[in-house]
Amino acid sequence: MRIKSTALAATVVVVGWGVCCGNAAAEPPAPPPQPKTTIDHDGTYAVGTDIVPGTYSSAGPVNGGTCYWKRVGSDEDNKTIVIDNALSKKPQVVQIDPGDKAFKTDGCQPWQKTDTAAPDPGKSPAEVKLPLDILNRLASPPGATPPAP
């Protein structure tokens, strides 16, 4: 009877080990999540960790509201600074640089990394000068010489 008890105990130990510990070695750890190229909801995203740097575009605000975004970095003292931001009712394109710390979005439609869209460079000085010249002529009294450029 003593031999049967010992054999039974050894069987329970071996089976218990297989259930408890044998399966743990079979499953490798999950790889860390990769940075995304789509930003599909409001939030703040770490550049290089949550999102890939690059050029992103959004169709603009959700439901006729306003779309706010900002690029966040740090200065030479490692203090957080706003690099660039916008509040708009129009489609947006933003260049997120590898040196940026984070990108925040609020009220915007999804952002998609495109790298083919170019950020709006603004108007050139010549494009700004023409409307200003017209305004200066309209604001000047009759017969006055408009200001020199």
pLDDT tens track for 43-68: 999 999 999 999 999 999 999 899 99
pLDDT tens track for 81-113: 999 999 999 999 999 999 999 999 999 999 999
Q: What is the pLDDT of residue 98?
A: 97
Cβ partners under 8 Å of residue 30, min gap 6: none
Counting beta carbons within 10 angstroms of the beta carbon of residue 68, is it exposed (0 to 12), middle (13 to 18) or buried (19 or more)? middle
